[in-house]
């Protein structure tokens, strides 16, 4: 049931305003945040910043599934960022997939949050995503099976750090209502560990900065 180890490294890229490489188990992504920056006239929003997301797969050109990832991450960032503080500007989130062992969506979302925190951009809340998998034996696990054909259903829940409310969710496969509720409970509890990891990682980053 225990989730794969979380590891991150801030400032992995030099050009973005904030960046991080995050690993969840054997899944790894790099996230970068650009902005607020000037926006093209056709994308200008008078009351808030335009939030964009660009997802880059490990190899090849982005496909339909990658566009779906972009939509999920963009919507979550729009909810969490204080976009109204930066009208007529743009905030761009760039995700680069490095390795996918099953937790790709949750890892990408968590990397986006850490990159935002690294950039220092104003946020209304932090957000944490957790993936849960339903195996052939109808058992739920935070760790995906080695053989992905054994996955009957996948649950991804995203929570805020203020009230623990669900910001977003995504499910795939067949499952009962009781299994959905159980997966939600498991992921909600695990999100607390992810928020603790965020805080610990930021504290360690600040301590390293003081020693330089």
Q: What is the pLDDT of residue 209?
A: 76
Alpha-carbon gap, residue 116 to 18, rounded angstroms: 6
Q: What is the pLDDT of residue 187?
A: 96
Q: Which of 79, 24, 78, 30 is nearest to 194 (CA)?
A: 24
Mean pLDDT of 38-55: 87
Residue 166 pLDDT exceeds 70: yes
Question: pLDDT exceeding 70 applies to what percent of the chain?
Answer: 98
In the three-class reduction of DSSP (H, G, I as helix; E, B as strand; rest coil), residue 87 is classed as coil
187-198 confidence digits (pLDDT tens)? 999 999 999 999
Contacting residues for 44 by C-beta, under 8 A, at least 6 apart: 50, 88
Q: What is the pLDDT of residue 212?
A: 63
Element (H, E) at 101: none
The full set of domains in the chain, from first to last, is: 6-211 (3.30.230.70)
pTM above 0.75, yes or no: yes
Q: What is the pLDDT of residue 1?
A: 46
Q: What is the pLDDT of residue 39?
A: 81
1-25 confidence digits (pLDDT tens)? 456 789 999 999 999 999 999 999 8
Provide the mean pLDDT of the chain. Answer: 92
Residue 207 pLDDT exceeds 60: yes
Q: What is the pLDDT of residue 2?
A: 55
Q: What is the pLDDT of residue 145?
A: 86
Alpha-carbon gap, residue 68 to 55, rounded angstroms: 9
In the three-class reduction of DSSP (H, G, I as helix; E, B as strand; rest coil), residue 57 is classed as coil
49-108 confidence digits (pLDDT tens)? 999 999 999 988 888 989 999 999 999 999 999 999 999 999 999 999 999 988 999 999
């Amino acid at each position: 049931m225990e989730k794969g180890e979380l590891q991150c490294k801030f400032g992995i890229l030099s050009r973005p305003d904030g960046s991080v490489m995050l690993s969840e188990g054997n899944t790894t992504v790099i996230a970068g945040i650009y902005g607020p920056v000037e926006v093209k006239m056709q994308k200008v929003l008078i009351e808030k910043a335009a939030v964009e997301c660009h997802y880059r797969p490990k190899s090849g050109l982005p496909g339909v599934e990658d566009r779906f990832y972009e939509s999920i991450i963009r919507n979550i960032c729009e909810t969490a960022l204080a976009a109204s503080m930066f009208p007529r500007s743009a905030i761009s989130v760039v995700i680069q997939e490095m390795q996918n062992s099953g937790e790709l969506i949750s890892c990408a979302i968590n990397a986006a949050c850490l990159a935002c925190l690294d950039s220092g951009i104003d946020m209304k809340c932090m957000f944490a995503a957790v993936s849960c998998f339903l195996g052939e034996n109808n058992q739920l696990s935070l760790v995906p099976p080695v053989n992905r054909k054994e996955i009957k259903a996948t649950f991804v829940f995203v929570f805020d750090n203020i009230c623990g409310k669900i910001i977003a969710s995504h499910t795939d496969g067949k499952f009962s209502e009781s299994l959905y509720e159980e997966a939600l409970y498991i992921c909600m509890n695990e999100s607390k560990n992810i928020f603790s990891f965020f805080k610990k990682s930021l504290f360690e980053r600040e301590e390293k900065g003081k020693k330089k």
